[in-house]
Chain A
Amino acid sequence: MKRRHISTILAIAVSFALFFWLAIPFAMAVMWSMVDPGHPWSYPDILPPKLSFERWRVVWETTSLPTAMLNSYTLAPVAGICTLLLAAPTAYAFGREEFRGKAIAQVVILIPLVLPGFVTAVFFASLLLSLGIFEKYPAVLLGHIVLYMPYAVRILSVSFSQVQDDVVNAARDLGASPFEVFRAAYFPVLKPGIFAAFLIVFVLSIEEFAIAFIVGVPDFTTIPTILFSYLGFEFVRTNAAVVALILVVPNVILMLVLERLLQSANPASVSGKG
């Protein structure tokens, strides 16, 4: 009974925290994005005096937002998938094999996380030039993959280590092909990790600024590069709010989809002992 009490209190506290941290800024962004240019929203008004979609129209028509959306919305999922695929072998080795230098390798792989994004971006840009990669889209994609690989490796190696040898052996023993072994013994255990890693890479990639800006300059735009353009010397909060909302839409959709997928997933990790 007491335990239930505590969890109820915790649940309420977390709901409040989420409300203040997420719902209020989100609501503010929505309102700021709909402030009518003719009726500015200023103190002491609690709500904007007049709402309109004028800002949305302006941003849409005066910036390269359509191209930027195309870039960002495709960059994020492609970066997610590529990062997962490239991280999988390393994660497998970390999670399932023993080799000399493993502990060091696990630390070394985290180094990109320690470097500030701008530092990486500046030198990454010059590296790309000397490699002769001038195409902006693959260059930025490559940058994102390098930058977010550590997250994927980290998450997936934990998932790989949770796969039980016995279950893998059981599948092989019953005549399963490598693909079927993966489907029966690996995938159910890896699934939450795959989703989590994909979500993280997706969200980080869609809001990434340093590489997209430095490598992509001047002609390659993503949603964050437009967003930052409103946040510099010419600070335009209303337009920034519009872009920020556009930025967040795919994240929310992806969260909801993954949530649904994970819920329908069957219990994957099991002790096996009863």
Chain B
Amino acid sequence: MGLEIENVGVRFGSFEALRSVNLTVDDGAFVTLLGPSGCGKTTLLNVIAGFLKPTSGTVRMDGMDISDTRPEARDTAMCFQSYALFPHLSVRENVAFGPRQKKVPKNEIVQRVSKLLDQMGLDIHAEKLPNALSGGQQQRVALARALAVAPGIVLFDEPLSNLDAKLRDQVRTEIRALQREVGFTAVYVTHDQAEALAMSDEVFLLNKGVVEQSGAPREIYFRPRTSFVADFIGAANLHVGKIKDGAMATPFGPLGVRGADALNKTVCWRPEVVRLGGDLQGAVTASAFQGGHLDLFVSAGDQTVRLQVPGSHEFDVGDEVSFGLDPENVVVLADEGHVDA
């Protein structure tokens, strides 16, 4: 089921949680709403679910305006961060809750619930109360409960944030596999950029109540439009300066840039696009061996950049290192930006 958000704004008193958000989600797509806390991503999810009425704008599902539709009548199902299971109902009753409300015939409910419980590996826990389950199992019950109503769109509100790292990876893969298998449209809220990059067809990066940039994970990562995006996702090296004749002067040397001449521009490149040997030069201030690769912090003048080189190389602090970049990999950002380093 497709989803369109048009100029949606949400205001709490004088605080604008969302300022004119626009986004389109295709049927069957897995999209993430990514952003730092307070960026409005959960607010947007609550608007889609119908828990929150937007101050302005429209929400459409499959072309139908549902801005005034109550949550119980929307074809969405939410997976809550707190799981929000009914503590007095068994796992089976929790999963059966939705279809029962929607007046699905009894024998079909039984079938549907059993199938979901099997699929999630919850069949042996079916008669237990949620309290008796681990966090990962409760998370699965919450997902099964949401899927039991066969929703057009499943909304995930940071569903993995209460799980430990290993389990998080596992459940993340499970969710994605299940989404492909069942074919529901998923809107997934997270503040974890790795999660967003790994799971999504499309990432919407929110900042201060607006969509700062949207696109495929690779596009967001390698082609950030603003310094906020570059900074928020992964590690980025930023330089501010004047672009002239396809180069920007930096303390490391002239940096080749594909861009028109301009006075005050920010450019950005990722640590892993660097190659050793080239016309840029600096001194190693720190190095961290990561197994497969080596993180190098290289300084020149008052700036430090981060390089990622194969783990087979060895550098000591103080070593001079020369490196080069393909101008193709240096992105000129749209805003004036800032350099923290």
Contacts and interface: CB of A to CB of B under 8 A. Distances in A.
B129 A274 contact: no
Interface of B: 49-51, 70-74, 76-78, 80-89, 97-98, 101-102, 129-131, 133-138, 145-146, 149, 162
Nearest to B138: A274
Contacts, number: 100
B72 to A, nearest CB: 5
Given A169-B80, A174-B98, 4 more contacts: A174-B102, A184-B97, A266-B89, A274-B135
15 contacts: A164-B82, A166-B81, A167-B84, A167-B86, A170-B84, A170-B86, A172-B70, A173-B51, A173-B76, A174-B145, A184-B89, A266-B129, A268-B87, A272-B83, A274-B162
A44 interface: no
A111 interface: no
A169 B78 contact: yes
A273 B102 contact: no
Nearest to A180: B101
A63 interface: no
Contacts of B89: 184, 266
A269 B130 CA distance: 11
Given A169-B80, A173-B77, A267 B102 contact: no
Contacts of A272: 80, 82-85, 87, 130, 138
A169 B142 CA distance: 13
Interface string A146-188: 0000000000000000001011011111111100100011001
B130 A169 contact: no
Contacts of B98: 174-175
A104 interface: no
A268 B98 CA distance: 20
Q: Which are the 5 A-B pairs with shortest beta-carbon distances?
A: A274-B135, A174-B98, A166-B84, A270-B87, A266-B88
Interface residues of A, number: 25
B80 A274 contact: no
B72 A176 contact: yes
A261 B51 CA distance: 34
Contact of A173 (B78, B129, B135, B136): B78
Interface in A224-268: 265-268
Nearest to A174: B98
Nearest to B85: A272
Contacts of A173: 49-51, 71-72, 74, 76-78
Given A164-B82, A169-B49, A173-B78, A267 B71 contact: no
Contacts of B50: 173
A176 B103 CA distance: 10
Contacts of B51: 169, 172-173
A188 B138 contact: no
Given A173-B49, A175-B101, A177-B101, A273 B131 contact: no
Nearest to B81: A166
Contacts of B71: 169, 172-173
Given A164-B82, A170-B78, A174-B145, A273 B88 contact: no
A188 B86 contact: yes
Contacts of B134: 274
B38 to A, nearest CB: 19
Contacts of B97: 171, 174, 176, 184
Contacts of B145: 170, 174
Contact of B86 (A177, A185, A269): A185
Contacts of B129: 266-267
B12 to A, nearest CB: 12
Nearest to A274: B135
B87 A269 contact: yes
Identify the interface centre among B83, B134, B146: most chain A CB within 10 Å of its CB.
Answer: B83
A262 B78 CA distance: 31
A167 B98 CA distance: 13
Contacts of A180: 101
A197 to B, nearest CB: 20
A170 B157 CA distance: 12
A171 B98 CA distance: 8
Nearest to A269: B87
Nearest to A175: B101
Contacts of B70: 172
A265 B131 CA distance: 14
A262 to B, nearest CB: 13
A19 B85 CA distance: 42
A188 B135 contact: no
